[in-house]
Amino acid sequence: MHDEPGLPGGDDLLDLDGEVLAARWAEALDRVAALAAEPVGSRATSHARVVDLGAGTGTGAIGLAVRLPDAEVVAVDVAEQSLARVAAKAQAAGVADRVRTLVADLDDGWPDLAPVDLTWASMSLHHLADPVRSLAELRAITSPRGLVAVSEFDEPVRFLPDDLGIGRPGFEDRAVAALGSVHAEAVPHIGAPWATLLTEAGWTVVDQHEVVIDERSPGHPLAGRYARAWFDRLAHGLEGRLDADDEQTLAALLDDDGPHALLRRDDLHLHGIRTLTVARA
């Protein structure tokens, strides 16, 4: 996963996402692993090569290594520091002998990974300059009837009630709208119709599933830190994009010693939809 304007991509945030939304990650990974365990050609994917594209800090890579106990997993990312966390997590999970890391930027072309039997791409394909071209190149190095699983948010995850007790109601709606404007300028493929793009690239879509996030007053001890990490990244990405009142509201949310601090709130509501699209070569 790359950093992009307005979109959280820091390693700490990725780790918090993996921990706070562990059940939702498990739902998506279980679904993909079940499809991957079916025979592909003359062998089962569980005995073959799995690629985590834009691996970030490795929630997908480690999750699939655990679920497919005989597979080789290659975690691919542009950031060496993120992949260092993947390697550490693989060691802690007891799968280091089957997980390797690879620094690569797919806009420069695919590395020599053939044959690939399963590719997992979570919040990564929208970073590519030409996703259809890259997906077609992936299909060319994928085993017959191999799989690609694309997991993307329809829109950013949300955390806040409409009335925060500070500033004008609807702060998060306005912040998300501003973020959408940033994405429209800098990341045109975010929110893309991935089933359509996969089909254009020669893949056959076999499954599409909405992973619904709906955690009211989440009890996870890291939920507040997750929200704070998100809005801290948002503050940098939206600098100059919010009016003075909303800038003050955002500052109050990020003031850990203040009465409206995200770390102190008990009214967080994590909600959003992560769409999982799976296709065969």
Question: Are the C-beta atoms of residues 207 and 278 closer than 8 Å to each other?
Answer: yes
pLDDT one-digit tens code per residue, 102-135: 999 888 878 889 899 999 999 888 878 888 999 9
- Pull the structure tokens for residue 70: 């005989």
- Pull the structure tokens for residue 214: 């709906």
E strand segments, the chain: 39-40, 43-44, 49-53, 72-77, 99-103, 116-122, 142-153, 204-216, 269-280
What is the mean pLDDT of the segment spanning 207-225? Answer: 89
Q: Domains plus CATH for the chain? A: 11-156+188-217+269-280 (3.40.50.150)
Write down the pLDDT at residue 6: 36
What is the mean pLDDT of the segment spanning 216-233? Answer: 89
- Pull the structure tokens for residue 89: 């997590």
Q: What is the pTM of this model?
A: 0.88
Which of 13, 19, 106, 128 shows the shortest CA–CA distance to 63?
19
Write down the pLDDT at residue 237: 84
What is the mean pLDDT of the segment spanning 236-258? Answer: 94
Which of 215, 225, 207 shows the shortest CA–CA distance to 150?
207
| Rounded Cα–Cα distance for residues 84 and 110 (Å) | 21
Question: Are the C-beta atoms of residues 180 and 190 closer than 8 Å to each other?
Answer: no
Which of 3, 2, 17 shows the shortest CA–CA distance to 272?
17
Question: Which comes out higher in pLDDT, residue 225 or 42?
Answer: 225
What is the mean pLDDT of the segment spanning 74-83? Answer: 94
| Rounded Cα–Cα distance for residues 247 and 174 (Å) | 11
Is residue 7 scored above 60 in pLDDT?
no
* Mean pLDDT for the chain overall: 88
What is the mean pLDDT of the segment spanning 226-255? Answer: 93
The amino acid present at 56, given as its one-letter code, is G
Question: Which comes out higher in pLDDT, residue 69 or 2?
Answer: 69
Is residue 39 scored above 90 in pLDDT?
no
Of the pLDDT bands very low, low, confident and very high (cuts 50, 70, 90), residue 140 is very high
Question: Which comes out higher in pLDDT, residue 41 or 252?
Answer: 252
pLDDT one-digit tens code per residue, 148-203: 999 988 777 899 999 999 999 999 999 999 988 877 666 666 667 899 999 999 99
Is residue 25 scored above 70 in pLDDT?
yes
The pairing of beta strand 142-153 with beta strand 116-122 = parallel
Q: Cα dist. 106→23, 53, 63, 111, 215 in Å?
A: 30, 9, 23, 8, 35
Is residue 5 scored above 70 in pLDDT?
no
Is residue 68 scored above 70 in pLDDT?
yes
Residue bearing tokens 């009214």: 267
Residue bearing tokens 């820091």: 10
What is the mean pLDDT of the segment spanning 51-70? Answer: 94
What is the mean pLDDT of the segment spanning 226-239? Answer: 91
Is residue 60 scored above 90 in pLDDT?
yes
Write down the pLDDT at residue 4: 43
- Pull the structure tokens for residue 192: 């893309």
Percentage of the chain modeled with pLDDT above 70: 91
